[in-house]
Structure 1
Amino acid sequence: MNDSSPGEGHVRVVGTAHVSADSVREVEETVKAEQPDVVAVELDEGRYRQLKGGSPDDIEASDLLRGNTVFQFIAYWMLSYVQAQMGEKFDVKPGADMLAAVETAESEGLDVALVDRNIQTTIQRFWRRMGIVEKMRMAGELLFGFADARGVGAVFGIAVGVFLGPLVGLYGDAVGITDLILTRTATAAVVGGAASYMLYTIASFYLDGDDALLAGLGGGTAIGIILSFGLGIGTGLATAVLKDLGIAIVGSLVIGIVAGVAVGVVAGVVLNAIGLFAPAEGVEDYEEYDMADLTDGDVVSAMMEEFRRFSPGGAEALIDERDAFIAHKLVALRQSGHDVVAVVGAGHKAGIESYLERPETLPPMESLVGVSEKKGFPWGKLIGFGVTAVFIGFFVLLAMAGISNERLLTIFGAWFLINGIFAGTLAKLAGARWSGALVGGLVAWMTSINPLLAPGWFTGYVELRHTPVNVGDIGKLNELLSDEETPIPELVGQMFDVPLFKLIMVVAMTNIGSIIASFLFVTYVIPVIASDLGGASGVANLMFEGARNSADLIWRTLT
C-alpha cells in the first residue's frame, strides 16, 4: 500500500505465512524489486539474534519471583510448538520468511528495522489477558485434546477434585466412604501405577509409542482395580500400613479427582450439546490446508478469528496490540521520509494497513508496553488474602479459646515441618539442587497460606542463579517432542536435560509438594495432634469458643 502525505515516504506491507516456502520467494522478489530504504521485519531484538544464530536472552532469576514467569513460558512454548509442527508439515523452518527478508536486505545493502514488540512483553500480556476459562481451555487442549467445554470441565474437575479429596478423607464416612475404601483406592493407585509402567515397558517392544502407552495405562488401571477391589489381595496389609502412615490421603485424592473429572466432563458434554464453547463454524484444522491455501490471507484470517474465539483476551495481546505497536513503528519510519517494505505475518496485515491509512486511530504507545493489568474483579488477590486471614484466624481463635502456647507451637511446628519436607523432597526428586530444595522447603509454610506466592518461585530463583535458562530451550524441546520413535521414559529423561523443562518441573513439583502437605495437614495431622481435644471436630468447637470469647472481649472493650 502507499498512503502517505507529500514529503513522507511510503510503506508496502507484505503479508506472509511464517512457514511457507512461497512466502520466502515472495519476500525475496519484493525486496529486490522495490529497493526500499528500509526493510521492516516482524521481529524483536531477541528473536532477531536467535534467528541469526546468536544466543537468546537468559531468564533473569529475579523475574521468577514476580510471578507467572513459568506459566508465560509454557504459553510461549505452546505457541512455538504449534508453529514448529506446521513448519515440519510443510518442510520449512519457522521464521524463514523473516530471515529471507533480513538476508535479502543485507545482500542489497538496505537498512533493516526490527518493528515488533519484545516477545517477553507479548507473552506476559498474553497470559494476563487470558481469563480463567480460557486458561482452562488451553490446559484441556494440552492434557486431553479438548479445547471445548469438555476440556474446561475436565480441568475444572481436577481442580475441584484436589480440594474435594481432603473433605472425602474427613467426612467420607457420612456418605459410606470408609477407611477400607480409601486404603483400597490407595492400593489400587499404587499397584496400578507400578503395573502400568511394567506393562508399558513390555508393550513398547511390540507397539508404537501411543499404543504402548494406552496399553500400559489401561492394563495397569485394570490390574490395580481387580487386585484391590475385586480380589482384595493385600487389603489387610494395606489397611494397616497405609492407615498408620496416613497415606490414605492418596485414596481420598484419587476419589476426589476422579469424581471431579467425571462430573466436569459430563457437564462439558452437555454444554457442548447446547452449543456453548462450540468450535467456530467453517474453520478447519491447519493440517487440512494445502500450501496454496496457507498463503491465502482469507484462510490466515480465519485461523486468527478462531484463535480470537478461543481466547478474546489472548488475541488482544497477541494480535491487536502488536498490530498497533508495529504500525506505530512504520508510521514513524514513513514520517521520516523512508520508503519501507514491511514483512509481517498475514494475520497482522489487515490491522496494520488499517492503522497506516488512519494513524490517528492508533492507541497511545505507552498503553502497548509494560505490564498489562488484569481486567475484571481481582478474585485471585481476594482469595489469597482470604486464605491468609483464615490461617492467622485459626491460631488466634485457638489462643482465645485458652489453648496453651506449647500446643500452638506444636501445631505450627507440624505445619512448618510437613510443608518443608514435602516441598523440599519433591523439588529434589525433580532435579533441584540441595540449596534450591532447602530454600523451597523453608518458605513452603509461608507461601502455602498465601496463593499469591509459591515456594517453587524461590526454588527456581536459586536454580537460575546456577543454571542459565533461555527461550532457545523451547526449540530443543520442540525437536524432542517431534521425535515419535523415542520411548517415552527415554524422552522424558532427555527433556529433563533441557534447563527450561527442568526449571518448570522443579517449580511445579515444589508447589505440588506444598499443596499435598497442606491437605495432609488438615486431613490427618491435626486430628492426630489434637486427638485429646476431640480431633478435627473438637478443634472446630474450640475455634467457635474462641470466636465467642473474642466477641465478648470486643464488646466489653467497646462498652
Structure 2
Amino acid sequence: MMQNIRRLELGGRTFVLVGTAHVSRDSIDEVSAVIESESPGRVCVELDEGRYRSMTKAASWESLDIGKVLREGKGFLLLANLALASFQRRLGGDIGIKPGAEMLAAVDAAERLGIPWSLCDREVQTTLRRAWGRSGLWGKSKLLASLLSGVLTNEKLSAEEVEKLKERDELDGMMRELAEYMPSVKEVLIDERDRYLAARIFAQPEASLVAVVGAGHLDGLESWLRRFSAGEASVDVSDLEIVPPPSTLSRALGWILPLVLLGLIAAGFFRSGAEVSLRMLIQWVLWNGSLAALGSALCMAHPLTILASFLSAPAATLNPLVGVGMFAGLVEAFLRKPSVRDFETLNEDISTLKGFYRNRVTHILLIFFLSSLGGALGNFISIPVLAGGL
C-alpha cells in the first residue's frame, strides 16, 4: 500500500486515511480509486462548510466592507486569508489544478456511488482567529511575510515536485520548520486540527470509513484515532471551536511600550532638562512616523495617506486600542474607494503581486500591514536610541 494511504483496524472498525497534496492531479485520481475500491460506509473530507461552499459556488466579495474590517481590527486576518488563497490558487494554476480539487473529487465519487459523506474540518475562520489570537504583532508579521512570499516569488512547481510534497520526509521537515518558526501557529493549524479531524471522523457511526486529508495530517490523525479507540481521549472537541479573548497579559503588554517610551522621555527631562527631553520626543516621532510613512510609500499609497501615516503613528502608539495601519487604511479607502470591479476581480487579482497592488481592496490591506509594521519597527528602534541619549 502506498505510503500516503493508511488502513487502521480499530475496535472492529476500519479507517482508511488517504493523504493528499492539495494541488495534485495524481491525488485526484488516487482518491477516486480508493473510494471505489473500498466502497466504505462513509467518506470524510478535510473541508468545512465555508470552504466547501466557496469551492462549489462563485465566491462573492461584493458585501465586504473594507472600512469595517479595519475598524474591527481584522485587517491582518483578512490579508492572511487572501495571501494563503493567493498562494494555493497560483500553485494550482502552475499545474492546472484548483486547490482542494481532490476533496471535491472525493465528494463526487461518494455521491456517484451513493455513499454518505461528511465535512469534518473546523471552520477556517475559527482556525485563523485562534492562530491570530496567539500571535503578537511580530508573530502576525512573520506569518504574513511567509504567506506573502508565496505571492512575490515567481518560482513554479512541477507536478513531480508537488507529488514530492506528499512524501513523509518532506512533510516532517516542513512541520519541524513551521514549529520552530511559529510554534503557536503550528499548534493551531496542524496539531489542533489533527485532533479535531480525528474526533469528527471517529464520531461517524459507520464501521468503515475513508478519510481524505492533507498528507501532513496523517501521523496526527492516526495517533488520535488510536487514542480515541483505546478510550484514552475524549472525542469532545468543543474547546477547539472557541476563540479565546485576549489574555490580561496580552492586553497589558500593549500599554508597556508606550509607557517605556514616555518613561525614557521623562527620564531625559529630569536628568538633563526640557531641551534633552524635547529632542528625545522629536527623535521618537521621526523614527515612528517616518517608518510608518515609509511602509505606506512602499505600497504606493496616496500622498495624503503617507502623510496620515506619519502623523497618526505616534498617537496610535500611545493608544494601543487603535493602530496606525487602521488610520492609513481608512484614509486610503476614503481617497481611493474600491469599485465594484475591484470586488469582482478579487479572486483573480490575488494570484499575482501586480494584482495585489492593482486591486484597491488588497492595496488597502497592504498599506495597513506595511504601515503597521513600519510604525512598530520605528518604536523598537527608538528605545535604544532614546536610552543612549540619557
Q: TM-score, normalised by structure 2?
A: 0.67
Report the CA distance shift for 1:473/1:319 in structure 2 as closer, same or farther (over 3 A).
farther
3-state DSSP class of the match of 1:113?
strand
3-state DSSP class of the match of 1:333?
coil
3-state DSSP class of the match of 1:51?
helix
Give 1:483-498 correspondences, 5 Å limit.
Answer: 491=354, 494-498=355-359
Higher mean C-alpha deviation, range 381-390 or range 20-29: 381-390
1:447 aligns with 2:308: no
CA contact (8 A) 1:116 1:326 kept: yes
3-state DSSP class of the match of 2:203?
helix
* Number of the residue aligned with 2:130: 125
1:49 aligns with 2:49: no
* Number of the residue aligned with 1:108: 113
Q: CA deviation at 1:323?
A: 0.5
1:477 aligns with 2:346: no
Q: CA deviation at 1:324?
A: 0.5
3-state DSSP class of the match of 1:107?
helix
CA contact (8 A) 1:98 1:343 kept: yes
Report the CA distance shift for 1:363/1:39 in structure 2 as closer, same or farther (over 3 A).
closer
* Number of the residue aligned with 2:97: 92
Q: CA deviation at 1:464?
A: 7.6
Q: For the residues of structure 2 that align with 1:441 and 1:140, how far apart are their CA atoms?
A: 23
3-state DSSP class of the match of 1:123?
helix
Report the CA distance shift for 1:49/1:462 in structure 2 as closer, same or farther (over 3 A).
farther
CA contact (8 A) 2:309 2:371 kept: yes
* Number of the residue aligned with 1:14: 18
* Number of the residue aligned with 1:312: 183
Q: For the residues of structure 1 that align with 2:168 and 2:370, how far apart are their CA atoms?
A: 43
Q: CA deviation at 1:45?
A: 1.9
1:505 aligns with 2:361: no
Q: For the residues of structure 1 that align with 2:345 and 2:45, how far apart are their CA atoms?
A: 20
Q: CA deviation at 1:22?
A: 1.5
* Number of the residue aligned with 2:241: 369
CA deviation profile, 1:25-76 (whole Å, cap 9, x unmatched): 1211222334444322111222111211332676675554454x44444544
Report the CA distance shift for 1:474/1:304 in structure 2 as closer, same or farther (over 3 A).
farther
CA contact (8 A) 2:203 2:235 kept: no
Report the CA distance shift for 1:113/1:125 in structure 2 as closer, same or farther (over 3 A).
same
Q: For the residues of structure 1 that align with 2:377 and 2:220, how far apart are their CA atoms?
A: 47
CA deviation profile, 1:353-401 (whole Å, cap 9, x unmatched): 22112113358624423336889x85x95464242464389589979x9
Q: Which amino acid aligns with 1:331?
A: F
CA contact (8 A) 1:11 1:341 kept: yes
Q: CA deviation at 1:507?
A: 1.4
Report the CA distance shift for 1:419/1:291 in structure 2 as closer, same or farther (over 3 A).
closer
Q: Which amino acid aligns with 1:32?
A: E
Report the CA distance shift for 1:313/1:395 in structure 2 as closer, same or farther (over 3 A).
closer
1:331 aligns with 2:192: no
Q: Which amino acid aligns with 1:117?
A: R
Q: For the residues of structure 2 that align with 1:503 and 1:2, how far apart are their CA atoms?
A: 49
Report the CA distance shift for 1:286/1:316 in structure 2 as closer, same or farther (over 3 A).
farther
Q: CA deviation at 1:326?
A: 0.7
* Number of the residue aligned with 1:40: 44
Give 1:188-267 correspondences, 5 Å limit.
Answer: none
Report the CA distance shift for 1:144/1:115 in structure 2 as closer, same or farther (over 3 A).
closer
Q: CA deviation at 1:345?
A: 0.8
CA deviation profile, 1:211-233 (whole Å, cap 9, x unmatched): xxxxxxxxxxxxxxxxxxxxxxx
3-state DSSP class of the match of 2:97?
coil
Q: CA deviation at 1:498?
A: 2.3
* Uncovered stretches (5+) of structure 1, i.e. residues with no partner: 146-208, 211-284, 482-490, 523-536, 541-559
* Number of the residue aligned with 2:4: none
Report the CA distance shift for 1:426/1:448 in structure 2 as closer, same or farther (over 3 A).
same
3-state DSSP class of the match of 1:361?
coil
Q: Which amino acid aligns with 1:317?
A: V
CA contact (8 A) 1:474 1:500 kept: no
Q: For the residues of structure 1 that align with 2:105 and 2:360, how far apart are their CA atoms?
A: 30
Q: For the residues of structure 2 that align with 1:509 and 1:136, how far apart are their CA atoms?
A: 9
**Percent of aligned positions that are identical:** 30
Q: For the residues of structure 2 that align with 1:474 and 1:133, how far apart are their CA atoms?
A: 28
RMSD between aligned residues:
5.4
Q: CA deviation at 1:317?
A: 1.7
Q: Which amino acid aligns with 1:476?
A: D
Give 1:362-401 correspondences, 5 Å limit.
Answer: 365-371=237-243, 381-382=252-253, 384-388=255-259, 390-391=261-262
CA deviation profile, 1:236-267 (whole Å, cap 9, x unmatched): xxxxxxxxxxxxxxxxxxxxxxxxxxxxxxxx
CA deviation profile, 1:470-522 (whole Å, cap 9, x unmatched): 899466322x24xxxxxxxxx3xx43332442122331465478679989x99
Q: For the residues of structure 1 that align with 2:208 and 2:222, how far apart are their CA atoms?
A: 15
3-state DSSP class of the match of 2:212?
strand
Q: CA deviation at 1:116?
A: 1.1
Q: Who wins on radius of gyration, i.e. which is larger?
A: 1
Q: TM-score, normalised by structure 1?
A: 0.49
Report the CA distance shift for 1:440/1:33 in structure 2 as closer, same or farther (over 3 A).
same
CA contact (8 A) 1:38 1:111 kept: yes
3-state DSSP class of the match of 1:97?
helix
CA contact (8 A) 1:384 1:452 kept: no
Report the CA distance shift for 1:27/1:496 in structure 2 as closer, same or farther (over 3 A).
same
CA contact (8 A) 2:69 2:75 kept: no
CA contact (8 A) 2:44 2:211 kept: yes
Q: For the residues of structure 1 that align with 2:224 and 2:332, how far apart are their CA atoms?
A: 44
Report the CA distance shift for 1:341/1:305 in structure 2 as closer, same or farther (over 3 A).
same
Q: Which amino acid aligns with 1:316?
A: E
